[in-house]
Amino acid sequence: MSVHPGAGKAADTAALLRVPSLMTAYYTRRPDVSELRERVSFGTSGHRGSSFDTAFNESHIHAITQAICTYRSQQGTDGPLFLGVDTHALSECAAASALEVLAANGVTVMVDDSGGYTPTPVVSHAILSWNRGRTTALADGIVITPSHNPPADGGFKYNPPHGGAADSKATAWIQDEANRLLGSDGREVHRMPWSRAVKADTTHLFDYMGGYISDLGNVIDIEPLQGR
């Protein structure tokens, strides 16, 4: 295996991500739905792209979130929605945009109580824990992460009540509805200012990591590890 020429050296300034520029592009660039690369496109359970390419911008997130609100309503999913965020630069922007739409649609949203980051398995655990033993008021979730994609990319994924990735039938419907909403310039998207959304009666703080960690003893034999 060859060694990369940059190994062990400080990163070239030209290779560093300009985060302020990325975030500015998120809020200022408007997608053209006639351009295929600027449309919502769900791959493995979610939409991914960079705001520099006008592929992951505020308009995309508003439209996708509104589509998810409609989809979950059609499916009878009326419990809380667990909203998780990773450390990619665009994730917190997308979380704020999503909350504006979720709150305006009256969806009960669970956000991290410390404003921290939430690994994908933690969101799945929260959904499954809530739904255990229930047949009504089932929960679902949104995970804002592009997984292993480059730093400039954002990602937005929907997890239905089974806790895992949404299947292709669900993602195809959400994708098509989101693109329809984009084509109408977002006129059918319900949203409220973030300052109101974060204080809405439907927005709640939730201890993601505490619940996940406290449950580890049910799947891992911790005692031998403590003796090391």
d(CA 155, CA 84): 11
Residue 53 identity: D
Q: Assess contact for 204 and 111: CB atoms under 8 A.
A: yes
Nearest to 119 by CA among 155, 83, 156, 86: 86
Q: Side-chain half-sphere of 116: how many Cα atoms within 13 Å?
A: 12
- State yes or no: is 41 an active-site residue: no
Residue among 114, 147, 168, 184 flagged as catalytic:
147
Q: For residue 141, what are its two tokens?
A: 């979730």
Query: Tokens 């991500």 — which residue?
Result: 17
Q: What is the chain's Cα-based Rg?
A: 19
Active site residues: 147
